[in-house]
Amino acid sequence: MAMATRVRAMETATTTQRDDLAVVLVEPRIPGNTGCVARSCAAARVPLHLVDPLFELDDARLKRAGLDYWKSVCVRVHPSWEAFYAYWRGVETTEKRLVGFSKLGARPHAETGAYRRGDWLLFGSEDKGLREDAMEACRQSGGIRRIPIDETHVRSLNLSVSAGIGIYEALRQLDGPPV
User: In the chain, what are the domains?
Assistant: 3-175 (3.40.1280.10)
Q: Which of 173, 162, 144 is nearest to 36 (CA)?
A: 162
Q: What is the pLDDT of residues 46-70, one digit of tens each?
A: 999 999 988 776 656 656 655 577 7
Model pTM score: 0.88
Q: What is the pLDDT of residues 144-168, one digit of tens each?
A: 999 999 989 998 899 999 999 999 9
Over pLDDT 90: what percentage of the chain?
66
Residue 25 CA to residue 18 CA, distance in Å, equals 17
